[in-house]
Chain A
Amino acid sequence: QKEVEQNSGPLSVPEGAIASLNCTYSDRGSQSFFWYRQYSGKSPELIMSIYSNGDKEDGRFTAQLNKASQYVSLLIRDSQPSDSATYLCAPSDYNFNKFYFGSGTKLNVKP
């Protein structure tokens, strides 16, 4: 059973702060890692992907990967109320095709 662990939250941060979302995974064969954002009543939306150890930045988002620790995180700088959503972590299998989704972390950004 391949497990993906995320703190369900809610994680509450004030507007303008940095939100830090964490994820651990059990499958050492995972090669690629994805973060999805899901607003209430909507479908998951891909926001970041990362494949190599280290950091990857895209605008206000930074994904961090440490394969040795089986840990991946997402940082959101200058958090906005519009960032309030559930964030899903999804490592892939070794074939890069099948994703294993965590249960998600609910983020609340307070104005």
Chain B
Amino acid sequence: DAGVIQSPRHEVTEMGQEVTLRCKPISGHNSLFWYRQTMMRGLELLIYFNNNVPIDDSGMPEDRFSAKMPNASFSTLKIQPSEPRDSAVYFCASSSTSAINEQFFGPGTRLTVL
């Protein structure tokens, strides 16, 4: 079975550029989560969706960050404009609320903003 798929795996960009991260959840899962991990702040929840609807975006750091889930099999996290402090590993995770809500993580996207 395919797990959570994220792309790209690595992204290097310059300050001010737009960055789009992509995620495909596990088939049949109806909740999707975007996390950011840094050494200083650990693993932080940015936003999560349930049945394609954003439920809690309180972790989104500022208006430069936006996330969408146009259908059950695809989500994007966009940063515009990007800043060096956005450098981190961004993880997408998915779960099924019909089961026991265990979250399964994708491989992550390592973002470096120069």
Which residues of the other chain, B, contact A101 by a CB distance below 8 angstroms?
Answer: 42-45
Contact status B102-A49, CB under 8 Å: yes
Contact status B100-A97, CB under 8 Å: no
Contact status A44-B105, CB under 8 Å: yes
Report whether over half of chain B's contact residues are helix, strand or loop; otherwise say mixed.
strand
Bin chain B's interface residue count. Answer: 20 to 34
Report whether over half of chain A's contact residues are helix, strand or loop; otherwise say mixed.
loop
Which residues of the other chain, B, contact A98 by a CB distance below 8 angstroms?
Answer: 45, 48, 56
Known contacts A43-B106, A43-B108, A32 near B42 by CB under 8 Å: no
The docked-state distance in angstroms from the alpha carbon of A49 to that of B100 is: 9
Bin chain A's interface residue count. Answer: 20 to 34
Which residues of the other chain, A, contact B102 by a CB distance below 8 angstroms?
Answer: 34, 46, 49
Which residues of the other chain, B, contact A43 by a CB distance below 8 angstroms?
Answer: 91, 105-108
The docked-state distance in angstroms from the alpha carbon of A45 to that of B108 is: 12
Chain B residues proximal to chain A, CB less than 8 Å: 31, 33, 42-45, 48, 50, 55-56, 91, 95, 97, 100-108
Known contacts A43-B108, A101-B42, A96 near B101 by CB under 8 Å: yes
Which residues of the other chain, A, contact B103 by a CB distance below 8 angstroms?
Answer: 34, 46, 99
Contact status B104-A97, CB under 8 Å: no
Contact status B106-A32, CB under 8 Å: no
6 A-B residue pairs with Cβ-Cβ distance under 8 Å, sorted by A, are A32-B101, A43-B105, A46-B103, A49-B102, A99-B45, A101-B42
Chain A residue, CB-CB nearest to B35: A101
Cross-chain contact of A32 among B43, B91, B100, B104 (Cβ < 8 A): B100
Minimum CB–CB distance from B89 to chain A (whole Å) comes to 8
Question: Is A103 interfacial (CB 8 A cutoff)?
Answer: yes
Which A11-66 residues have a C-beta within 8 angstroms of B?
32, 34, 36, 42-46, 49, 51
Minimum CB–CB distance from B79 to chain A (whole Å) comes to 20
